[in-house]
Amino acid sequence: MSQTASPPSAPPAEEAPPRLAAAWLLPALSAVWHRELLLFRRYWLATTFGSLVEPLIYMAGFGLGFGALIDAVDGHSYLEFIGTGMVVTSVLFSSAFAGMFESYNRRRYQKIYDAILSQPVDAGELVTAEASWIAVKSAVYGCAPLAVTMAVGLPWTPQILLVPLISMVSGFAFGVFGMWVSCLVPAMDWLRLVVSGVLTPLVMAAGVFFPLGSLPGWLSAVGLFNPIQHCAELIRHAAFGSLGAADLGHTAALLVFGALSWLLAIRGMNRRLID
């Protein structure tokens, strides 16, 4: 009895190789950066003026005012102390404000994030691409008060080259924190409450305007959970050329804060835009 030959089986389909991290992020990164550069070319003066000039005004006011009353802080002139503190505030507010207000506006009113997610892009790529732009921009803004501080007497040290890198990492962390907060509030006006009730007290307790030694002991303990304080310590130590083993703890705290905020921001964007 003749047997019919069975048709040859199709070769097994090859699995697509997993995408590398850079290839996974590159499409969203390039798209977001292209859009941001187009917007920045049009509105660069309005967005840059406040981020650059306001810290310099505070620096001049505090430096010339309190500088006449305070001889030195930790072996440095008060103008150098407040100048490095203005690097912190410049990075913080340019990144946290962008993360809160700009991302809320783009998600809620302009529907830009809906358009981005209609492409083969997920919330993680969107958050990472947006925060990367915020990080680079805030690091550039932070260099302005640092350059002025160097011009008025801050000596150059090799460690000062780490200030832009610390500012970029901090800007990313504060940016994704702002994006997460923007997903929590029911209306944009609530973000002003976050600025006044959360960010401003944290700045005042971070040693930006005065040394931490003048604070009560319990505030110093609370400062261990204040990411702005860790940012200020890293930037000051790098600017003064005094980075040491203790700064590994500040770095770890800032990285943990950034990673946690990044995960929360992705979860919040998924909840607001997809779920």
> Is 250 a member of any domain?
yes
Predicted pLDDT at 173: 97
Cα separation, 238 vs 164, in Å, equals: 10
Predicted pLDDT at 68: 67
SS3 category, 76:
strand
> Is 249 a member of any domain?
yes
Going residue by residue through the chain (275 aa), what tens digit of pLDDT does each one get? 444 444 454 444 443 343 444 555 677 777 788 878 887 788 777 777 766 777 778 777 777 777 667 777 878 888 889 899 999 999 999 999 999 999 999 999 999 899 888 888 889 999 999 999 999 999 999 998 999 889 888 999 999 999 999 999 999 999 999 999 999 999 999 999 999 999 999 998 898 888 877 767 776 677 788 999 999 999 999 999 999 999 999 999 999 999 999 999 999 999 998 86
> Is 7 a member of any domain?
no
Domain, as residue range, for 202? 84-140+155-273
Predicted pLDDT at 57: 80
DSSP 167-228: HHHHHHHHHHHHHHHHTT-SSTHHHHHHIIIIIHHHHHTTTSSS-GGGS-HHHHHHGGG-HH
Q: Can you tell me which residue has the tokens 């780490």?
A: 162
* Domain count along the chain: 1
Query: Where is 258: in which H helix or E strand?
Result: helix 246-273
Predicted pLDDT at 200: 92
Predicted pLDDT at 38: 81
> Is 27 a member of any domain?
no
Tokens of 70: 């305070």
SS3 category, 67:
coil
Predicted pLDDT at 41: 81
Cα separation, 231 vs 89, in Å, equals: 10
Residue 175 near residue 98, CB atoms below 8 Å: yes
CA 121 to chain centre: 22
Predicted pLDDT at 275: 64
> Is 18 a member of any domain?
no
Cα separation, 93 vs 178, in Å, equals: 10
Cβ neighbours of 130 (radius 10 Å): 29
Cα separation, 77 vs 63, in Å, equals: 9
CA atoms within 13 A on the CB side of 49: 3
> Is 76 a member of any domain?
no
Predicted pLDDT at 249: 94
> Is 179 a member of any domain?
yes
> Is 1 a member of any domain?
no
Backbone angles phi, psi at 9, to 5 degrees: -70, 145
C-alpha dihedral over 211, 214, 218, 224, to 10 degrees? Answer: 10
